Amino acid sequence: MSKSRKTRDKEQQASKGRRGRKSSIEIATPPYGGSPVPLEPIDGVRWRIPKKGLMRVDGVIYAGKDLLPDLREDRCLEQVANVATLPGIVGESLAMPDIHWGYGFPIGGVAAFDEEEGVVSPGGVGYDINCGVRLLVSDLPADDPSVNIRKLTQALYEAIPAGVGSKRKDLRISAGELDQVMQQGVGWAAKNGFAEAHDAEHIEEGGCLPNADPSSVSSRARLRGRGQLGTLGSGNHFAEIGMVDTIYQREAARAFGLKERQITLMIHSGSRGLGHQVCTDSLQEMLRAVERYEIPLVDRQLCCSPITSSEAKRYLGAMAAAANYAFVNRQVMTHWARQVFKRLYGASLITVYDVCHNIAKFERHLVDGVSRRLLVHRKGATRALSRGHEDLPAAYRDAGQPVIIPGDMGRYSFVLRGAQASERTFASACHGAGRLLSRSEAKRRFASEDVAGRLACRGIVVIGASRATVIEEVPEAYKDVARVVDAVQEGGLADKVARIRPIGCVKG
């Protein structure tokens, strides 16, 4: 990637007099700092935040009217406006209906940047690089009398390590193998017997980002990642057994391999400690870069660097390496889940699709009718390619990309397909329900409640690494994902294909 002349000049100027100098970033006034952020209606589900102050573009929120009160309870709308101040942003600063406050960018935020004049911001990806979700379908019907969901959930809990610092003792990789994981992604898993032939084709980017640079990953990040391959981790990560209870579009469902009463498995996890450390390391370098390149900031958490700079190249290389690690992480858990289904019931698991939630990737999109190469940041958002797109696997070319939207462990999740209007959002849709309550607030409100027992009475088996984790993930901590999905469909970003009801859940 060549550097623009403007960037090279600034690098040379910075190197002359600023080495070793302590960072002293000046923070500009946020566009709507301290005052309510206005929302002007565009249509039934789109709302505009008009340009103000340092904003270079408008903000656009996708949300039904019933979701608006939830959005105003934290500072996520202000963050949408703040993102709009970053150099080189193209189109609008976007937010999906599951938006809530995050580090720098809101969770549910999408922003695209010109490859020459734009920036990359670690806050636009987040700490859990390539946190994502994989959907698998089994050939096992839910009404098979031999199926014991409690036994199946317990077996998955024993096979897939969950919780803070979780490790699986029988998977050891050397430092050299870790480099291969970060460089080759799911290709490494295939070579080592952890993947089936169809898996890579049904994973975003084929399960490997091509610009990964393991040499940009710190020794601390490597140390954190080596023992955590094939583990869920904690927080909102899960392995969830579901049952398809509603089909909305039979043709698309058939293409995805979905049918009523079918048992499914969703695996939601990311790059674990390795990705977290990559983000931590990069934030420090980006804070220095902001001063070096004289980038005006309205929030330190939006620290960034020009895409053409050496700092951006290092971050993007390390981020891609962490993303490939995450692809392999979900692939190895898929392998162990397959062993469980095979051993207990002689059943198979086929990958429907695996999508990224937290990523920055170069993609081509139409902007004012012109195809442009942009760096698209998706933080808590899912790619949603419409039918006919050249990046879709052949099996989904006529149907559109599967868009997997997990809900909470007590209600339902949805499978959608990318729709044509997703071009407005750089082929993006929501990634989940979105939190209503913080983890601390959920624990405060439900500390005395037997959450797992309550769900068991509704036929949902929940096994968590700790009681505290299960309480943090109580269904009431989340928005009703059906309302979120309705806004996505009404906005033309993705269309409902099927609904899945949870029947067993392993929580990290």
- Do 373 and 140 form a contact (C-beta atoms < 8 A)? no
Residues 6+ apart with CB under 8 A from 436: 70, 476, 477, 478, 479
Q: Residue holding tokens 């976007």?
A: 94
Instruction: Give the mean pLDDT of 247-263.
Output: 97
Q: Residue 372: phi, psi to the nearest 5? A: -130, 145
Q: Work out the percent of the chain whose per-residue pLDDT is above 90.
A: 88
- Do 334 and 267 form a contact (C-beta atoms < 8 A)? yes
User: Could you give the C-alpha distances from 493 to 384, 386, 400, 426, 476, in angstroms and in order?
Assistant: 7, 9, 11, 10, 26
Residues 6+ apart with CB under 8 A from 117: 4, 87, 88, 306
Instruction: Give the mean pLDDT of 407-435.
Output: 96
Q: Per the structure, how many domains does the chain have?
A: 1
Rounded Cα gap, residues 350 and 406, in angstroms:
18
pLDDT digits (tens, 9 = 90+) for 73-132: 788 999 999 999 999 999 999 999 999 999 999 999 999 999 999 999 999 999 999 999
Instruction: Give the mean pLDDT of 421-446.
Output: 94
- Do 83 and 118 form a contact (C-beta atoms < 8 A)? no
Rounded Cα gap, residues 392 and 298, in angstroms:
38
Residue 438 lies in a domain: yes
Residue 43 lies in a domain: no
Residue 339 has, within 13 A of its CA and on its CB side, a CA count of 14
pLDDT at 502 over 50: yes
Token duo for residue 80: 């949408």
Token duo for residue 143: 């009404």
Instruction: Give the mean pLDDT of 166-190.
Output: 89
The pLDDT assigned to 340 comes to 97
Q: What contacts 24+ positions apart, CB below 8 Å, involve 175-178?
A: 175/222, 175/226, 178/214, 178/222, 178/225, 178/226
Residue 286 lies in a domain: no
168 falls in which pLDDT band (50, 70, 90)?
Answer: low
**How high does pLDDT run on average in the chain?**
93
Q: Could you tell me how far CA 505 lies from the centroid of its own chain?
A: 20
pLDDT digits (tens, 9 = 90+) for 449-495: 999 999 999 999 999 988 999 999 999 999 999 999 999 999 999 99
Strands 461-464 and 494-507, sheet pairing: parallel
- Do 506 and 238 form a contact (C-beta atoms < 8 A)? yes
Q: Which CATH number covers residue 187?
A: 3.90.1860.10
The pLDDT assigned to 165 comes to 66
Instruction: Give the mean pLDDT of 364-378.
Output: 95
Residue 40 lies in a domain: no
pLDDT at 335 over 70: yes
Residue 117 lies in a domain: no
Nearest 10 degrees: Cα torsion 121, 123, 127, 131 = -80
- 239 lies in which domain range? 132-281+303-507
Q: What is the biggest distance separating any 2 CA atoms in the chain, rounded to whole angstroms? A: 74
Q: Residue holding tokens 């958490």?
A: 301
Residue 5 lies in a domain: no
70 falls in which pLDDT band (50, 70, 90)?
Answer: confident
Q: Residue 27: phi, psi to the nearest 5? A: -100, 125
The pLDDT assigned to 74 comes to 82
Residue 287 lies in a domain: no
Annotation says 335 is catalytic? no
pLDDT at 362 over 90: yes
pLDDT at 264 over 50: yes
Nearest to 229 by CA among 186, 173, 159: 173
Rounded Cα gap, residues 141 and 151, in angstroms:
16
The pLDDT assigned to 6 comes to 44
Q: Could you tell me how far CA 233 lies from the centroid of its own chain?
A: 15
pLDDT digits (tens, 9 = 90+) for 25-61: 889 999 998 789 999 999 999 999 999 999 999 999 9
23 falls in which pLDDT band (50, 70, 90)?
Answer: low
Helix (H) or strand (E) holding 439: helix 439-446
Residue 482 lies in a domain: yes
Instruction: For the full predicted model, state whether its pTM sits above 0.85.
Output: yes
Strands 59-62 and 89-100, sheet pairing: parallel
